Amino acid sequence: MDRLEKQNFVSNLKDVFNNSSVVVVAQNAGLTVSAMNDLRGAMREAGGQVKVVKNRLTKIALEGTPLAGIEEFLSGPSMIAYSDDPVTAPKIAMKFAKDNENFIVLGGALPDKKIDLGEVKHLASLPSLDELRSKILGLIKTPAGNIASLINTPGTNIAQVVKAYSENSKAA
């Protein structure tokens, strides 16, 4: 990398660290290209990003950002996963780590808070923002459906009673 590329790399990372809700740091020694592409695809599909980083440049980019706590995790071949949703990156990273022994999650950071591996696992176990939205909509929709069926039920019952009387009177 020449000097301009390094400056662009640091600038891009600084934007990531200033704008992301969560960053997960992992070591990726021995990870195949196809496995890395699978991780990138899964993360992109879920709304996150994955980036292989140079530790020295990443430490420079971390200075003065709300995610500066991840600096201690940067040793060896490192990569970061980040997203706007605080659950997406941990969820995808932990799922990928379970399937790939060469991918080791070390920890991460939320804005102004460093998190260890246990907290990353806890974040990964939480439902995503989309899952929460669908649950809330389901909870809102269910009572409305019950009310609509209760309102329609008496009319249906009356119609059935009238029909039964008319059939009885025709038979008699």
The mean pLDDT value for 71-97 works out to 91
Over residues 106-110, mean pLDDT: 92
pLDDT given for residue 91 in this prediction: 92
Q: What would the two tokens of residue 159 be?
A: 């119609």
pTM for the structure as a whole: 0.73
**Short-list 42, 52, 133, CA closest to 88:** 42
Q: In angstroms, rounded to a whole number, what is the distance separating the alpha carbons of residues 96 and 121? A: 12
Q: How confident is the prediction for the chain on average, in pLDDT?
A: 85
Helix locations, 20-128, DSSP H: 33-46, 55-62, 88-99, 117-125
Q: Rg of the chain's alpha carbons, rounded to an integer? A: 27
> Quick one: DSSP state of residue 71?
G
Report, as an integer, the average pLDDT of 74-84: 90
d(CA 53, CA 34): 18
Tens digits of residue pLDDT in 36-64: 999 999 999 988 999 999 999 999 999 88
- Cα–Cα distance measured from residue 20 to residue 25, given in angstroms and rounded to the nearest whole number: 13
Band (134; pLDDT cuts 50, 70, 90): confident
Question: Exposure pattern of 106-137 as b/e (b: 16+ CB <10 Å)?
Answer: bbbbbbeebbebebbeebbeeebeeeeeeeee
- The angle at the Cα of 8, spanning 117 to 52, to the nearest 5 degrees, equals 30
Q: Could you tell me which of 86, 66, 77, 112 has the C-alpha nearest to residue 24?
A: 86
Answer yes or no: is pLDDT of 137 > 70.
Answer: yes
Interatomic CA distance for residues 45 and 119, integer angstroms: 23
- The whole-number pLDDT of residue 144 equals 67
